[in-house]
Structure 1
Amino acid sequence: MQSPLKVGVIGVGAMGLAMATNLHGKGYAVQARDVADTAIDAAAAAGIGTCKSPRELADWADLLIVVVVNAKQIEEVLFGVDGVVKCSRGDSHIDRDNGSGNAPVVMLCSTVSPIDSAQFGHRLAAVGIATLDAPISGGPVRAANGTMTLMLAGDQRIVKRLDGVLNDLASKVFFISETIGDGAKTKLVNNMLAGINLTAGAEALALGHRLGLDRQQLFDVICASSGASWIFEDRMARALRDDYAPRAQAHILTKDVGLAVDMAAGASIETPLGAAALQIFKATIAAGLSDEDDAAVIKTIDPHFNRAKQRETSHD
């Protein structure tokens, strides 16, 4: 049974396409927009309709989910020449009882600074478009099966009105506050910890390798012991297979950890572990690994990690 809610997704990379496919499979009318022809082709192949511009998508949709890379791209899709604010459905009067209006609700799922989130929200409100600050976490697999995590900040009436689609998108939905930007703050705190855990886990596995331990056995022990973390188990399993095909490109978490460290500096709190993780990520980017999976941080810590595996394989 098809839902009457029409959902537009701007940015159908790994996460955006997974979210769009999930909603399409659950009966929502879904259309997509992306600047990359390959992304549009992938959406079309999944049975998802496509639009020629963010403005066109905004004229059709009830909910616009924005899943682009950074604030610069959000600026372009919202306020550019053919951006969302150019749609014909802007409504300066949003119903006070339920937060509804003629214009689509814009849900910002990209990881950006809380300052940028707040500014986007204010600028959209000025033309009658409501915003949800709604960062996501969990990766493409969880996005595709609707089990990712969603961190929401914004008008609680709008959240209540969209409760059905929000719970179809994510099995863990956290309402943070009504202040746009608090969702972004929550996501950046989480992602700084994810970056610290990932680089620490890669360092530990590299140490075990240099000590002559069996890497797979060490990995199994850590996953069953106090050193475990979700990101260690997920990413280092890939490193052990020499599999750096990008599910989450290294430059994305580099950006996120950098934003978190900057946010901490603005709050006058030192984050030495976050800063150390950021340096490892930056070195990974400098080594030309920007578009590889972020598991590639282990190559920065131990350049011989996968070469050793290749030598072992050649002797089998």
Structure 2
Amino acid sequence: MTRTGAVAVIGLGSMGRGAALSLLRAGLETHAFDIRPEARADFAAQGGLAHETAAAAVAAAEVVFLFVVNADQAEDVLFGTGQAVAVAQSGTVFAVSVTQDPARAEDQARRLREAGMLPLDAPVSGGSAKALAGEMSVMASGPEAAFLKAGPALDAIAGRVFRLGAAPGAASKMKMINQLLAGVHIAAAAEAMVLARAAGLDLHEVIGVIGDCAGMSWMFGNRAPHIANGDYTPHSAVDIFVKDLGIVTGAALGLGASVPLSDSALALFREAAGAGLGREDDAAVAKVLAARAGVTLPGSGG
């Protein structure tokens, strides 16, 4: 049986783990599942209730967050082998915090409603550090009843919740715009840092100067230090932006919108993934540009 106020988190990656720990800090009974045993063990060690299956975690909660990687995984958790909808009590809130094609979000919401659930299209932004601090931005759309029921959980994981109406897919459309900008800005940051290296500039000095100038962006401030330090620990991997910019360009094609910068950035991320960098931090696209220019970046042996 579900317990009043209990929350489940499916997927304990960089964002899901942060959300789950934020829920625990807020004093909410928090259940979780991840396919990786080590992720479940870590969560249990932090005081959470880890389960061997997604269904077991969902059955214990009245609000469920999905922090899986993509739409196909969300589909499988909800309606496939994960059996989440099959075991959930009627009226359970399913907050799908997955970056996906808005059309997929709309379809999931329709099927969740038909099953007697309360859907929230609820993608997030902010990175792993803000997730861990409970300060993510949540873009959310869905029925008022879902917002009311999920309110304490949303407050626990988010610095701000942008309520974007009741229409399913509205939040995923907004996240798509965010990811367009994020992906293009990462590519631009990598391009700038490689050019700076080719010009003989000190990369840390570049970061300090640009940080106080008009060319600054959040992504430059966050990712440029990864390049300057030669540290490509995957807080957000190249493969993520192959997926996300693919969503952007696919949706743009369907809408008849021209997105040349997104097209170029996607080509760069795909080239990086093809070079075996897909699991590295997304700033690793700089390695592709450096190789083209014959430039050696920090951490690359020179």
Could you say which TM-score interval applies, normalised by the shorter chain?
over 0.9
Please state whether the residue corresponding to 1:287 is helix, strand or coil.
Answer: helix
Contact kept in structure 2, 1:137 and 1:149, CA below 8 Å: yes
1:156-195 to 2 correspondences below 5 Å: 156-195=144-183
Q: 1:59 corresponds to which residue? A: 59
Cα drift, residue 55 of structure 1: 2.1
Distance 2:269 2:109 in 1: 30
Please state whether the residue corresponding to 1:128 is helix, strand or coil.
Answer: coil
Q: 1:23 corresponds to which residue? A: 23
- 2:206 pairs, out of 207, 213, 218, with 218
Post-superposition, which runs of at least 4 consecutive aligned residues in structure 1 deviate over 6 A?
none
Q: 1:94 corresponds to which residue? A: none
Cα drift, residue 249 of structure 1: 1.2
- Give the counterpart letter for 1:66 in structure 2: L
Q: 1:139 corresponds to which residue? A: 127
| Corresponding pairs, count | 297
- Give the counterpart letter for 1:21 in structure 2: L
Cα drift, residue 173 of structure 1: 1.0
Contact kept in structure 1, 2:184 and 2:265, CA below 8 Å: yes
Cα drift, residue 88 of structure 1: 5.6
Could you list the runs of 5+ residues in structure 2 that have no partner in the other structure?
none
2:47 matched to 1:47?
A: yes
- 1:279 pairs, out of 261, 267, 271, with 267
Name whichever of 160-169 and 208-217 sits farther off: 160-169
Cα drift, residue 125 of structure 1: 1.2
Q: 2:297 corresponds to which residue? A: 306
Distance 2:128 2:82 in 1: 28
Q: 1:7 corresponds to which residue? A: 7
Contact kept in structure 2, 1:4 and 1:28, CA below 8 Å: no
Cα drift, residue 56 of structure 1: 1.8
Deviation by residue 1:42-69 (Cα, 9 ceiling, x = unmatched): 2122221112222222221010000000
Contact kept in structure 2, 1:298 and 1:305, CA below 8 Å: no
- 1:258 pairs, out of 246, 249, 259, with 246
Contact kept in structure 2, 1:85 and 1:127, CA below 8 Å: yes
Cα drift, residue 196 of structure 1: 0.6
- Give the counterpart letter for 2:49 in structure 1: G
Q: 1:240 corresponds to which residue? A: 228
Cα drift, residue 164 of structure 1: 2.5
Cα drift, residue 161 of structure 1: 3.5
Q: 2:187 corresponds to which residue? A: 199
Contact kept in structure 1, 2:9 and 2:31, CA below 8 Å: yes
Please state whether the residue corresponding to 1:173 is helix, strand or coil.
Answer: strand
Say if 1:61 and 1:188 are closer, same or farther in 2 by CA, change over 3 A.
same
Deviation by residue 1:179-237 (Cα, 9 ceiling, x = unmatched): 11111110011111111111011111111111122222112111111110111111111
- Give the counterpart letter for 2:58 in structure 1: A
- Give the counterpart letter for 1:8 in structure 2: A
Cα drift, residue 306 of structure 1: 2.0
Normalising to structure 2: TM-score of the pair?
0.94
Cα drift, residue 171 of structure 1: 0.9
- Give the counterpart letter for 1:12 in structure 2: L
Distance 1:286 1:309 in 2: 19
Please state whether the residue corresponding to 2:276 is helix, strand or coil.
Answer: coil
Q: 2:197 corresponds to which residue? A: 209
Say if 1:56 and 1:274 are closer, same or farther in 2 by CA, change over 3 A.
same
Say if 1:161 and 1:88 are closer, same or farther in 2 by CA, change over 3 A.
closer
Distance 2:34 2:151 in 1: 26
Name whichever of 166-175 and 278-287 sits farther off: 166-175
Say if 1:308 and 1:179 are closer, same or farther in 2 by CA, change over 3 A.
closer
Cα drift, residue 159 of structure 1: 1.1
Cα drift, residue 167 of structure 1: 1.8
Deviation by residue 1:6-38 (Cα, 9 ceiling, x = unmatched): 010000111111110111011010010111212
Contact kept in structure 1, 2:118 and 2:145, CA below 8 Å: no
- 1:108 pairs, out of 79, 90, 96, with 96
Contact kept in structure 2, 1:11 and 1:68, CA below 8 Å: yes
Say if 1:85 and 1:215 are closer, same or farther in 2 by CA, change over 3 A.
same
- Give the counterpart letter for 1:69 in structure 2: V
Q: 2:33 corresponds to which residue? A: 33
- Give the counterpart letter for 1:273 in structure 2: L
Normalising to structure 1: TM-score of the pair?
0.90
